[in-house]
């Protein structure tokens, strides 16, 4: 257990926050006339100066130097990763034949006409020498195309054009631009496979098909429930109906269909539970658990939220196994730093911003607030605990669970509300209550799905069907609650910011207030949890238009 003195210490924030500031500056401004080398050299010199000042215990000088070094490094890193970030796209739409390497293929809906995904151009014709190395969004006609797979290289013919601007700054094209993608390849035909995916990707594709077959057992006659099940366990959101997507989106619970922190965390607990049943020593159990968890993340598509969640769990597990000082905020900071060093454009994705802001809220506000409320829950304070009957213990446990869950849901609501308005044009007060019911139910469905996969892989098909049926019953309840709950008044309101820039600014402001409150020890101050509420109220009153 970490000591109280180190409970929320995260020294890597001194590197992460300046790096994020530098990446944001690079997004806004082009490379200066002198090039990047002076900035890189300056960052190196400031890093050396920071080390020297740290040895001399000069805190102010060290902080200034490390912050400037991190900012310059972030600015240079983004421009080196996406060198064409600020280059003008003057050429008109034209037909090209290029070779692309797919790094994300979107699962197509059953009736979809096109195959879509994200790729990097690796080769082009003589007249398009500026294209190799650039990221593109592709949309290929399904009937005449070779189905693309992640990490495979393909020869593609189509029309390449700049992404149309998004007036609201919240559409799909804006999402692509935030990932460093400024062009799209449309009306395309994937003519041939230039290089097949590697053996590991082929293994992941075969494993996903095997897992999907196991999850389908016993549910073939229930397509609506099966679509929820596959979306939740394998991240196949394309199989969801429009009604299901709208219901869970409006209730603020659509995140349960993204392989992210909830899924990875529940699967991790289930894996460690199996390791404990097998009585594996702690360190081998953690190593084996992380390996199985990593395979699950890769098999389900290695989405960015899943990878981020895996990194956080890996860092947190490492601190516990090797008995190092650590906490949730430190693990979250390390995961964010590694993510941005590997792919700096992730900073500008909606998923990165929402997931980290919510987890920060849970760590610095949700957990301590839950502890405070549970300590205040004393329904039978005047009765000695030795005289309690079973119903006394049930009421005490139920109340403690309820107030703890409510604290977590409240913190998540405060953190996610600005992002929900900015990126989905929805303000969902109902998510505060909906998550109290949906998250426990979805956790039960995930555990049942994991046990179904586990028993199915070892050949116990009948037991796998039992777990699938148990998960299906849970999903039916979830679907009913979401479909009927969103019809109640006040569950959600269409809303949008009056200016597009308010969405990221509001999210940054809320996260900054949460971090400041966490560093100031919320629980030690009476009424110390009100600043995020005040910030959200100001945002809603001054910057949001409803309807």
| Domain end call among 31, 58, 81 | 81
Residue 304 lies in a domain: yes
For residue 107, the domain's CATH number is 2.40.50
Residue 247 lies in a domain: yes
Residue 234 lies in a domain: yes
Residue 125 lies in a domain: yes
pLDDT on residue 325: 66
How many other CB atoms are found less than 10 A from the CB of residue 467? 25
Of the candidates 355, 357, 337, 368, the one whose C-alpha atom is nearest the C-alpha of residue 510 is 357
pLDDT on residue 4: 39
185, 123: one domain: yes
* Cα 294 to Cα 311: distance, rounded to the nearest angstrom: 9
How many other CB atoms are found less than 10 A from the CB of residue 208? 17
Q: What are phi and psi of 282, to 5 degrees?
A: -60, -50
273, 332: one domain: yes
Cβ atoms 193, 101 nearer than 8 A: no
Residue 245 lies in a domain: yes
How many other CB atoms are found less than 10 A from the CB of residue 29? 12
275, 330: one domain: yes
* Cα 252 to Cα 127: distance, rounded to the nearest angstrom: 48
Helix (H, G, I), strand (E, B) or coil at 386: helix
Of the candidates 198, 194, 195, 162, the one whose C-alpha atom is nearest the C-alpha of residue 97 is 194
Residue 414 lies in a domain: no
99, 189: one domain: yes
Q: Which residue has the tokens 């549970």?
A: 374
Cβ atoms 363, 332 nearer than 8 A: yes
Residue 228 lies in a domain: yes
Strand-pair category, 493-497 with 114-123: unpaired
* Cα 340 to Cα 18: distance, rounded to the nearest angstrom: 12
Quick one: how many helices (H) and strands (E) in the chain? 18, 8
Q: What are phi and psi of 235, to 5 degrees?
A: 75, 20
DSSP3 helix / strand / coil % (the chain, rounded to 5):
60, 10, 25
Sheet of strand 493-497, all strands in order from the earlier edge strand to the far edge: 426-427, 493-497, 544-546
Helix axes 431-457, 261-277, angle to 10 degrees: 40
Structure-token pair, residue 494: 């269409």
* β partners of residue 160: 94, 185
pLDDT on residue 5: 38
332, 309: one domain: yes
Print the domain residue range for 170: 94-197
Q: How far is CA 285 from CA 46, 291, 309, 456, 503, in A?
A: 42, 10, 19, 22, 42
Q: How far is CA 214 from CA 80, 259, 473, 476, in A?
A: 44, 18, 17, 19
| Domain end call among 348, 381, 413 | 348
For the chain, 547 residues long, the average pLDDT of each consecutive 10-residue run is 52 91 93 88 91 83 91 94 84 92 82 88 88 92 88 92 72 78 92 88 88 90 84 71 77 71 77 80 83 86 80 81 72 89 88 85 88 88 87 91 90 89 87 84 88 90 93 89 83 88 88 82 63 91 89
Of the candidates 517, 437, 421, the one whose C-alpha atom is nearest the C-alpha of residue 478 is 437
* Cα 29 to Cα 37: distance, rounded to the nearest angstrom: 16
Query: Model pTM?
Result: 0.84
Helix (H, G, I), strand (E, B) or coil at 190: strand
187, 99: one domain: yes
Q: What is the DSSP string of 407-419?
A: HHHHHHHHHHHHH
- For 405, residues 6+ apart whose C-beta sits below 8 A from its C-beta are 370, 436, 439, 440
| Domain end call among 81, 107, 126 | 81
pLDDT on residue 6: 41
How many other CB atoms are found less than 10 A from the CB of residue 307? 23
pLDDT on residue 76: 94
Buried b (16+ CB within 10 A) or exposed e, 12-21: bbbbbbbbbe
Residue 23 lies in a domain: yes
- Work out the angle at residue 483's Cα, subtended by the Cα atoms of residues 482 and 486, and round it to the nearest 5 degrees: 75
CA torsion through residues 205, 210, 213, 214, sign:
negative
Q: Which residue has the tokens 């213990």?
A: 393
Query: How many domains is the chain partitioned into structurally?
Result: 4
pLDDT on residue 1: 37
Give the number of C-alpha atoms closer than 13 A to the C-alpha of residue 497, restricted to the C-beta side: 25
Cβ atoms 189, 158 nearer than 8 A: yes
98, 179: one domain: yes
42, 111: one domain: no
């Amino acid at each position: 257990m970490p000591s109280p003195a180190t409970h929320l210490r995260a020294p890597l924030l001194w590197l992460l926050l300046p790096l994020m500031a530098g990446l944001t500056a690079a997004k806004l401004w082009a490379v200066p006339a002198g090039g990047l080398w002076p900035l890189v050299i300056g960052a190196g010199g400031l890093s050396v100066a920071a080390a020297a000042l740290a040895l001399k215990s000069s805190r102010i000088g060290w902080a200034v130097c490390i912050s400037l070094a991190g900012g310059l490094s972030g600015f240079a890193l983004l421009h080196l990763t996406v060198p064409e970030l600020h280059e003008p796209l003057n050429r008109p739409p034209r037909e090209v034949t290029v070779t692309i390497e797919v790094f994300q293929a979107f699962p197509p809906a059953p009736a979809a006409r096109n195959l879509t995904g994200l790729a990097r151009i690796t080769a082009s014709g003589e007249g398009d020498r500026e294209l190799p190395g650039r990221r593109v969004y592709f949309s290929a006609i399904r009937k005449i195309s070779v189905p693309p797979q992640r990490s495979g290289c393909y020869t593609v013919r189509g029309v390449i054009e700049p992404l149309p601007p998004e007036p609201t700054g919240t559409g799909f094209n804006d999402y692509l631009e935030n990932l460093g993608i400024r062009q799209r390849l449309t009306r395309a035909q994937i003519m041939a496979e230039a290089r097949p995916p590697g053996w590991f990707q082929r293994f992941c594709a075969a494993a996903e098909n095997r897992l999907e077959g196991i999850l389908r057992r016993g549910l073939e006659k229930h397509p609506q429930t099966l679509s929820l099940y596959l979306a939740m366990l394998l991240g196949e959101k394309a199989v969801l109906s429009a009604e299901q997507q709208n219901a869970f989106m409006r209730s603020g619970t659509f995140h349960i269909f993204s392989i992210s922190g909830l899924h990875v965390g529940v699967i991790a607990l289930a894996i460690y539970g199996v390791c404990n049943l097998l009585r594996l020593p702690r360190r081998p159990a953690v190593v084996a658990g992380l390996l199985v968890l990593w395979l699950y993340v890769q098999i389900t598509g290695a989405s960015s939220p899943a990878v981020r969640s895996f990194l956080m769990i890996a860092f947190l597990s490492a601190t516990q196994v090797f008995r190092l000082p650590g906490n949730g905020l430190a693990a979250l900071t390390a995961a964010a730093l590694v993510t941005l060093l590997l792919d700096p454009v992730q900073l500008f994705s909606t998923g990165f911003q929402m997931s980290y802001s919510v987890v920060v809220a849970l760590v610095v506000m949700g957990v301590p607030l839950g502890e405070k409320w549970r300590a205040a829950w004393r329904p039978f304070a005047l009765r000695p605990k030795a005289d309690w009957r079973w119903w006394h213990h049930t009421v005490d446990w139920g109340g403690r669970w309820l107030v703890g869950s409510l604290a977590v849901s409240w913190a998540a609501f405060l953190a996610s509300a600005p992002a929900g308005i900015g990126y989905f044009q929805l303000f969902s007060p109902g998510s505060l209550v909906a998550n109290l019911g949906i998250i426990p139910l979805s956790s039960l469905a995930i555990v049942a799905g994991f046990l179904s996969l586990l028993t199915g892989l070892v050949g116990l098909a009948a037991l796998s069907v039992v777990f699938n049926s148990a998960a299906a019953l849970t999903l039916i309840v979830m679907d009913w609650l979401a479909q009927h709950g969103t019809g109640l008044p006040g569950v959600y309101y269409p809303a949008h910011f009056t200016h597009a820039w308010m969405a990221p600014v509001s999210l940054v402001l809320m996260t900054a207030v949460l971090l400041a409150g966490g560093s100031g020890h919320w629980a030690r101050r009476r009424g110390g949890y009100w600043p995020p509420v005040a910030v959200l109220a100001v945002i809603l009153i001054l910057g949001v238009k409803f309807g």
